[in-house]
Amino acid sequence: MSTEPTQIRLVDYPEGLADDTTWTTTHDPTPELLDGQIEVDVRIVSVDPGMKGWISPWRSYIDPIRPGEVMRAFGIGPVTRSASDRHAVGDVVTGFTGVQTTAVVDARSMRPVDADLAPLELHMSVLGMTGFTGYFGMLDLGRPEPGQTVVVSAASGAVGNVAAQVARHEGARVVGIAGGAAKCAYLTDELGLDAAIDYKTGSVGDALDEACPDGIDVYFDNVGGEILDAALMRINRKARIVICGGISQYGDMTSAAGPTNYLQLISKSATMVGFTMLDYLHRIPEAVADLAERVDDGTLVHRQHVLGGIESFPEAFRMLFNGDNHGKLLIRV
Residues that bind a second copy (CB under 8 A): 53, 60-61, 224, 229, 243-246, 249, 256-276, 278-279
Q: Which is nearer to a second copy, 43 or 268 (CB)?
A: 268
Q: Please list the residues that pair with 177 across neighbouring strands.
A: 197
CB of 237 to a second copy, least distance (A): 9
Angle (CA) 301-306-312 rounded to 5° is 155
CB of 58 to a second copy, least distance (A): 9
CB of 62 to a second copy, least distance (A): 9
138 Cβ partners below 8 Å, 6+ apart?
144, 150, 162, 163, 164, 166, 167, 218, 220, 242
Q: Which is nearer to a second copy, 76 or 231 (CB)?
A: 231
The Cβ of residue 15 has, within 10 Å, a number of other Cβ atoms equal to 8
CB of 3 to a second copy, least distance (A): 37
Q: Which is nearer to a second copy, 87 or 268 (CB)?
A: 268
Single out the residue of 298, 279, 249 nearest to residue 139, CA to CA.
Answer: 279
Judge whether 228 and 257 are in contact, CB under 8 Å. no
CB of 240 to a second copy, least distance (A): 10
Torsion angle, alpha carbons of 83, 89, 95, 99, to 10: 90
Report which DSSP code applies to 213: T
Single out the residue of 110, 136, 139 nearest to residue 123, CA to CA.
Answer: 110
Residue 76, burial from CB neighbour count under 10 angstroms (0-12, 13-18, 19+): buried
Q: Which is nearer to a second copy, 191 or 244 (CB)?
A: 244
Q: Which is nearer to a second copy, 2 or 267 (CB)?
A: 267
Q: Which is nearer to a second copy, 139 or 301 (CB)?
A: 139
Q: Which is nearer to a second copy, 145 or 252 (CB)?
A: 252
CB of 52 to a second copy, least distance (A): 11
CB of 267 to a second copy, least distance (A): 4
Buried b (16+ CB within 10 A) or exposed e, 86-123: bbeeebbbbbebbbbbbbbbebeebbebeeeebebbbb
Judge whether 327 and 304 are in contact, CB under 8 Å. yes
CB of 48 to a second copy, least distance (A): 14
Q: Which is nearer to a second copy, 31 or 61 (CB)?
A: 61
